[in-house]
Amino acid sequence: ALLPQVSLRLEALQKHLNTASTNLLAAQALREGVHHGVYVAEQQTEGRGRRGRRWFSPFAANLYMSLAWRMPLGLASLEGLSLAVALALRNALIELGCDAVKVKWPNDLLIEQAKLAGILIEVSGDTTTEAQLVIGIGINVTMMQAPDGAIDQAWTSLQRSGVQVSRTHLLACVLNHLILALEKFEREGFVAFQSDWQNADAFYGQRSCVISGEQVVEGICLGVNEMGALQLETEQGRLSLHGGELSLRAL
Ligand code: ATP
Ligand code: BTN
């Protein structure tokens, strides 16, 4: 069931049958003055991932949700936010009996290296004093198959991984964990989540590469620093890698 703090804070909880992208609904709500709201859809016709990639969003199979969330923080403080969100989702899934879920920097949840969920955070507004955030989350729930080419990497769903949970229960559990995490992030910043990352990290201690456009850097993943920047031990020494334009791959 929803805990009281969730229902007190949220001004809107809307469910749509079919929409282009719940991130667009949340962005529209922010423009209309909403401070904290949740937008859920049964299906998305233009579900989005990072950098213009698509998020396959078939009807009634998965959870597609976006939070509209105003945070009194400047843009520079938001660097670790997708990591804090990923950790909150992992805790929600663990509470529901899905212990195998790991995080992949900066925005994915994996089970045995297959993608279970993704996070797409979009920021707007005057980003010096208050960030207007759209926090989009897709979690695969009962999806058992996808047409060829719809998802171009290894993926899984809760059901495929042997976890039975209703989407309603999942939504409530995710909101509880997420809202507490966002409030903690607002008060304390990413540093309050840093020590949780190591345990949850699917890549910790592994030889990996980071791709940035044409550039590829190889090294061993050693978690994240207090701002959420990826720590990569390379032959040239330790690198701190920032920002959402990078992709991490196992070697
Ligand atoms: P990175 O963030 O490291 O670049 P990524 O390849 O996962 O990783 P994202 O932009 O985060 O890229 O996610 C979009 C990708 O997710 C798509 O290109 C597709 O491969 C995959 N994808 C799309 N829909 C789903 C889905 N429902 N479940 C799992 N994966 C999906
Ligand atoms: C990623 O891994 O690139 C992020 C995927 C985020 C998908 C969710 S589904 C709900 C929300 N609406 C969207 O269009 N995208 C996010």
Q: Is residue 125 within 8 Å of 102, Cβ to Cβ?
A: no
pLDDT at 65 over 70: yes
Residue 215 C-alpha to ligand 1 middle, in angstroms?
20
238 is catalytic: no
The active-site residue, picked from 15, 53, 54, 249, is: 249
115 is catalytic: yes
pLDDT at 1 over 90: no
pLDDT band at 4 (very low <50, low <70, confident <90, very high): very low
Asked if residue 90 has its Cβ within 6 Å of ligand 1, the reply is: no
Residue 106 C-alpha to ligand 2 middle, in angstroms?
14
21 marked among binding-site residues? yes
The active-site residue, picked from 9, 50, 70, 184, is: 50
The per-residue DSSP string of 126-140 comes to -TTT-EEEEEEEEEE
For residue range 85-127, list pLDDT tens digits in order.
Answer: 999 999 999 999 999 999 999 999 999 999 999 999 999 866 6
pLDDT at 126: 66
pLDDT band at 201 (very low <50, low <70, confident <90, very high): very high
For residue range 139-178, list pLDDT tens digits in order.
Answer: 999 999 999 999 999 999 999 999 999 999 999 999 999 9
pLDDT at 213: 85
pLDDT band at 231 (very low <50, low <70, confident <90, very high): very high
At a CB cut-off of 8 Å and minimum separation 6, what does 236 contact?
none
Residue 187 C-alpha to ligand 1 middle, in angstroms?
31
Lowest mean pLDDT among 27-31, 49-53, 156-160: 49-53
189 marked among binding-site residues? no
pLDDT at 2: 54
Asked if residue 138 has its Cβ within 6 Å of ligand 2, the reply is: yes
Q: Which of 228, 165, 219, 166 is nearest to 191 (CA)?
A: 228
> Domain ranges in the chain?
4-199, 203-250
Return the ∠ at Cα 14 (arms to 10 and 72), rounded to 5°: 35
In the predicted model, what is the mean pLDDT of residues 179-194? 96
* CA-47 nearest atom, ligand 2: 14
pLDDT at 5: 53
- How far is 121 from 181, CA to CA, in rounded Å? 15
Ligand number nearest to the C-alpha of 135: 2
pLDDT at 3 over 60: no
184 is catalytic: no
Task: Return the residue whose CA atom lies nearest to atom 13 of ligand 1.
Answer: 49
Asked if residue 55 has its Cβ within 6 Å of ligand 2, the reply is: yes
Ligand number nearest to the C-alpha of 174: 2
CATH of domain 4-199: 3.30.930.10
In the predicted model, what is the mean pLDDT of residues 3-28? 86
pLDDT at 8 over 80: no
- How far is 128 from 53, CA to CA, in rounded Å? 28
In the predicted model, what is the mean pLDDT of residues 19-41? 96
Residue 159 C-alpha to ligand 2 middle, in angstroms?
19
Fold of 203-250: SH3 type barrels. (2.30.30)
Ligand number nearest to the C-alpha of 62: 1
- How far is 246 from 242, CA to CA, in rounded Å? 8
Asked if residue 142 has its Cβ within 6 Å of ligand 1, the reply is: no
